[in-house]
Amino acid sequence: MAQVQQKNQMKIVFWIGIGALVMANFKALRQVAPATALGAVFIGIACMFPMYLWCAGKVRGMPIFPFFTLTYLWTFCLPLLSSNPNVLMYSPADHLYASMTTVTFLGCGTFIWWQFVKAPNQNSQPILALPAKGAETFFFWMLGVQLLFNMYFLGAWFSIPGSLFSLVRGIILGLSTLGVFVLCYRSGRGDLSKFRNSLLFFLIAAIILTSAATLILKTALTLFLMSIVAYVIGGRKLPLLALIIGLVCIIPLHYGKHPMRHQYWNGPPRHVQPWEYAAWFQEWLGHSQGELFAKPQRWDPPKEKKESFVERSSVIHMLLMAQNKIPRLYPYMNGATYAIIPQLMLPRFLSPNKIRSHEGTHMLNVHVKRQTYQETFKTVIAWGLLPEAYANFGFIGALLIGGILGSFYGFVTRVGIDAPTFSFRTLFCILVISFALASTEWTAGVYSATLQQSSMPLIGMRLVLMKRYRLRPPEKYQSSEASLLSRLQSLNEQERQYLLQYLDQPLPQQKP
């Protein structure tokens, strides 16, 4: 019964989101050319369909691929309805062709991903996992370390050599980010005690606060959204109260960030100590109110028009450019940006003259005369996986990259189904889902190299800390839901939390 209610709640949230999306863009749909509007609608359907399958409970496992396709809503769909000059310079016929290429890419990936996740995973092979109780405590400690590190960075308490600082920062950031996702996921599932739920809320709020105090809101907003996403995945329900509180606290700061940056970034560095946070944010909110309610005077110079989020995140204009220039002006690259991937994955100590991580991106820009090679040392013009595939192989490239990503995300999702939270499979799923959300502007070389580097701490934990367990045979432990509910109701709160924690831990591997 509880699972049915969760599925129904997620379906309601999905359709409310669809309704709000249509209402917000209805005027733009009527104003653009019919071919452009048709293309935007087709992309919207293609990128939202996998998310519908997950919200309706028709697929199992982590929604890695649904969140990946969701990113194409603001990178490929909505830019067609915006006033982005990079999109408007192409004709409605170009928009429709780029839309059909995108739909083909998403459709091919969805079909292959569906083959992996539509059936339950019957794998009963032993798995590697961390002990649940110890791992949960470890990740709480990592959140505490991240909070202290943020305070140290803001207050400049003492100096650390640059190379050591980068190493320490990378390790702490990687493990604490993983900890935020894992703990919020367990909180959504109801696996945390009341005390640990409260502690988690405090730590995440404090980390978001100290991250925002650097005047770079993107870090704080990313952490906030990631915690919401993890909670939704774990519990298939939306934490409305936490979502509203977070948005009410973060959004007003957006309007005052530019005056604060102008005041403190152009002068001597400003070190903020923990006891100064209240005054720091009070000053920031004062700037926000000034920006929100200030009335322009006749003598004020006109402000430069700022790009919207959709205009900044657009990637479809790179696909439009590729389809306009290739092969009409320049030949297909025939896999040149994929051929360098093995070089990018070599550690730098084994290859002192290793090429730059964005070398594939630079090759694309130089090929279509968007940049000279010298200019690539100053500016990176992002492409994305789909435009890169088209530049290499044309329309066939869209099919190939869609199939490859659908297979990869589908396989990773399938092996993680029913795996304990702290198993290597689930932790790797969490890592991959963060890549699915962050890879909107990456080429295949950046994706592959970054995934390899980010997997190293997990692989180290797998080799050193994880133990081998066997999964509980489902047929042996199945019971009716009514019977389970009646048994749970007979337990007190402490016994119930202990039982839930125990159920998340697989049985130890029996030695012959």
Which of 440, 446, 436 shows the shortest CA–CA distance to 361? Answer: 446
**174 vs 373 pLDDT, higher one:** 373
CA–CA separation, 446 and 361 (whole Å)? 9
- What does the H/E/C string look like for 283-321? HHHHHHHHHHHCCCCCCCCCCCCCCCHHHHHCCHHHHHH
Mean pLDDT for the chain? 81
Average pLDDT over residues 128-133: 80
Which of 57, 51, 55, 62 shows the shortest CA–CA distance to 416? Answer: 62
CA–CA separation, 46 and 73 (whole Å)? 9
The tens digit of pLDDT for each residue in 176-212 reads 888 888 888 888 888 888 888 889 999 998 888 888 8
Average pLDDT over residues 144-161: 83
The tens digit of pLDDT for each residue in 310-347 reads 666 688 889 999 999 988 889 999 989 999 888 888 77
- pLDDT above 70 covers a percentage of the chain that reads 82
The tens digit of pLDDT for each residue in 67-97 reads 999 999 988 998 998 888 888 889 999 999 9
The tens digit of pLDDT for each residue in 34-72 reads 999 999 999 999 999 999 998 888 888 889 999 999 999
The tens digit of pLDDT for each residue in 447-480 reads 888 888 888 888 888 888 888 877 655 444 444 4
CB 87 within 8 A of CB 312: no
Strands 507-508 and 467-470: antiparallel
- pLDDT above 90 covers a percentage of the chain that reads 18
Is the predicted pLDDT of residue 380 greater than 60, yes or no?
Answer: yes
The band of 229, judged by pLDDT with boundaries at 50, 70 and 90, is confident
pLDDT score of 494: 59
CA distances from 279 to 148, 151, 275, 283, 501 (A): 20, 16, 9, 6, 42
What's at 262, amino acid-wise? H
pLDDT score of 478: 44
Domain parsing of the chain, residue ranges: 315-391
**SS3 category, 507:** strand
Is the predicted pLDDT of residue 436 greater than 80, yes or no?
Answer: yes
